[in-house]
Structure 1
Amino acid sequence: MSELPAFLAEHPTLWVAIASLFGLLVGSFLNVVINRLPVMMEREWKRECRALLAEEDNEQQAAKDEPFNLIHPRSRCPSCGAPISAWQNIPVISWLWLRGRCGKCRTPISWQYPSVELAGAVLAGLAAWQFGPTAWGLAVIVFSWTLLATAVIDLKTQLLPDVFTLPLLWLGLLLPIVLSEHHVTLQDAVLGAAFGYLALWSVYWLFRLLTGKEGMGFGDFKLLAALGAWLGWQMLPLVILFSALAGSVIGIAMILALRHDRRIPIPYGPYLAIAGLIALYFGEPIMTVYLGGMA
């Protein structure tokens, strides 16, 4: 097995191409997760509420519900219900071939599908190019894909599922133990997780005490804690700064260009994800330049 990473290291272009191609396929699966996981969560909440309220026997209601998970039912057009065949599921190519429309009813297919697929490929290719065929490179690919799915779900539903944020947090804490090539120490990862959570937790309660409103959700705390675990506590100021800048720029653009109602809350998760990726790839050079300018 050690010969394969060595071979790929000698042929970096091949490794980047393989990672990018696999990223396309994973991006297609991420679209399924993005569309179905919030529905699965909502159904689970309803089952729990029915059980608590004892409105009807939970087993009887469960029997009535159509199975709905990441595998069932088969993918189909949300407009006409036509099943999506295998050739219509080829990442990006099928969307282009169908000209962005359902093959049966010609209803437009969301740009989300090719965008997430391409993003999955770009993120995987970037990690493969930057870190090579290493364990840390593979970890960064998983990290990037998780941030991608988390950001899109939050953008669509204003939910940051624990099924993403908590495993990402724990994996970030475990990597310094199992990966010798990881540049973040266990102490820095633990402090990053703690400070990341407490930073937004403090802002949340301060804002709530001053205004009586909730400015963000607890999922944002967990996501920043996960970023702190992966990047170390030293990168948290950059992540917070870049997320605030991204939120300001994109938020103002949405208000001006798309006439977005400023009273409608804008999810913070996508900006944290963008800032986390920027800090991952450019954080150390930025900190070096900043600290050099301070000297």
Structure 2
Amino acid sequence: MPELPLSVWIALAAVLGLLVGSFLNVVILRLPERMAASWRREAREVLEMQADDAPLPPGIVREPSHCPHCKHPLSAADNIPLFGWLLLRGRCRYCKVKISIQYPLVELFSGVLSALVVWKFGPSWVALAGLVLTWVLIAAAGIDFRTQLLPDQLTLPLLWLGMLLSLIPMFAGAPSAIIGAAIGYLSLWSVYWVFKLLTGKEGMGHGDFKLLAALGAWMGPVALLPVILLSSLIGALVGGSLIALRKHEREIPMPFGPFIAAAGWVWFMAGPQLLQGYMHFTGLR
């Protein structure tokens, strides 16, 4: 059987990314709701209140896709990633309510980034690991952007997967992964407590510590400073633009997780090239 050319693998990765992106939309929308319902039940148990008999929100896997507004199940054609939204012209087929632009954007991001991963690493186990990292970062960023939550259900498995991959090693060796995870967590943890002691406010969530720790486990401690600097730069540009356009009030906190995820993915894909370009630009080389 002849080997497939790289272009075919890239196209297959793009299609797979679109399909996974459709599932990531479900995760982004349903996981926070399930978490909140679970927290409410646990709180009632701790407070010894009467149990809440209300049904849990739809699960991530079993319940079929439906319109969030009218609850009508979606047809197979409506569920086609990206193209379903375009065919429906951004509105529900049944109640005509506008469908969030999040759906096609997440699918498009997933498809494009998946294709770039396979273009970078080729058809290999490294590419498969990179795809998993990419998809988890998209889901984590989407949830944090919507709810300012970074679920342990995403960050901790990503951390442990990075640790396990270090045993091969695939991206970073075991000592480097352990040190990267520890420094990644402690660095933002320290910033959090210094800021809280000085201002009495919380500057970031605990999920940010775990996400940076996960990236440290995948790429080692050398990647952490560039990721923090890149995420701060991206956050400043995006936040400044939103404030300038008056689409975001200064007093409203902005999640930092999406910027950490974006910077981590960029460094994962092009860290050595970016470092080489920086050294050449600054004359350090």
Residue 167 (structure 1) aligned with residue 157 (structure 2): yes
Identity of aligned residues (%): 50
Query: Hey, what does 2:254 align to over in structure 1?
Result: 266
CA offsets per residue over residues 128-160 of structure 1, 9 Å max, x none? 110011111100000001000000100000000
Aligned to 2:94: 104
- What is the CA distance between 1:54 and its match in structure 2? 1.5
Match of 1:186 in 2: 174
TM-score normalised to structure 2 length = 0.95
Q: Which has the higher helix share?
A: 1
The CA distance in 2 between the partners of 1:272 and 1:284, in whole Å, is 18
Alignment of 1:103-182 (within 5 A): 103-179=93-169, 182=170
Residue 3 of structure 2: aligned partner: 7
Tell me which moved more, 185-194 or 106-115.
185-194
Equivalent AA in structure 2 for residue 143 of structure 1: L
CA distance in 2, matches of 1:124, 1:202: 34
Within 2, Cα distance between the matches of 1:17 and 1:67? 35
Decide whether the 8 Å contact of 2:195 with 2:201 is kept in 1.
yes
> Per-residue deviation at 1:71?
3.3
Q: 1:281 is matched with which residue? A: 269
Cα deviation for residue 246 of structure 1 reads 0.5
How far apart in 2 are the matches of 1:190 and 1:205? 23
User: What is the aligned residue count?
Assistant: 283
Which of 201, 225, 231 matches 2:189? 201
Tell me the equivalent position of 1:54: 48
**Shift of residue 174, structure 1, vs aligned partner:** 1.1
Q: Please, which runs of 5 or more residues in structure 1 have no aligned partner?
A: none
Distance 1:54 1:121, change over 3 A: same
Quote the residue 1:21 is aligned against. Answer: 15
TM-score (norm 1): 0.92
Rounded Cα–Cα distance in structure 2 between residues aligned with 1:20 and 1:232? 28
Tell me the amino acid that sits aligned with residue 126 of structure 2: W
The whole-number CA distance in structure 2 between the counterparts of 1:230 and 1:284 is: 15
**Closer, same or farther in 2 for the Cα pair 1:19/1:47, shift >3 Å?**
same
Query: For each residue in 1:91-141, what CA deviation from the matched residue of structure 2 results, as whole angstroms up to 9, or x when unmatched?
Result: 111111110001012111001001111111111111111001111110000
RMSD: 1.6
Matched position secondary structure for 1:294: coil
| Paired amino acid for 2:174 | L
Distance in 2 (alpha carbons) for counterparts of 1:259 and 1:31: 23
Q: Following the alignment from structure 2 to structure 1, what is the Cα–Cα distance between the partners of residues 161 and 268?
A: 16
Letter in 1 for 2:141: A
Q: Are 1:250 and 2:238 an aligned pair?
A: yes
* Native 8 Å contact 2:192 2:202 kept in 1: yes
Letter in 1 for 2:115: G
Q: After superposing the two structures, state which structure 1 stretch, 274-283 or 77-86, moved more.
A: 77-86
- Counterpart secondary structure, 1:7: coil
| Greater displacement, 195-204 / 68-77 | 68-77
Structure 2: state its 5+ residue gaps: none
1:39 aligns with 2:24: no
Aligned to 1:210: 198
Evaluate the alpha carbon distance shift between residue 66 and residue 171 of structure 1 in structure 2; reply closer, same or farther with a 3 A threshold: closer
Task: State whether residues 171 and 218 of structure 2, in contact with CA within 8 Å, keep that contact through their aligned partners in structure 1.
Answer: no
Residue aligning to 1:85 = 75
Report if the CA contact (8 A) 1:228-1:235 is conserved. Answer: yes
Cα pair 2:117 2:269 within 8 Å, conserved: no
Distance 1:75 1:173 in 2: 34
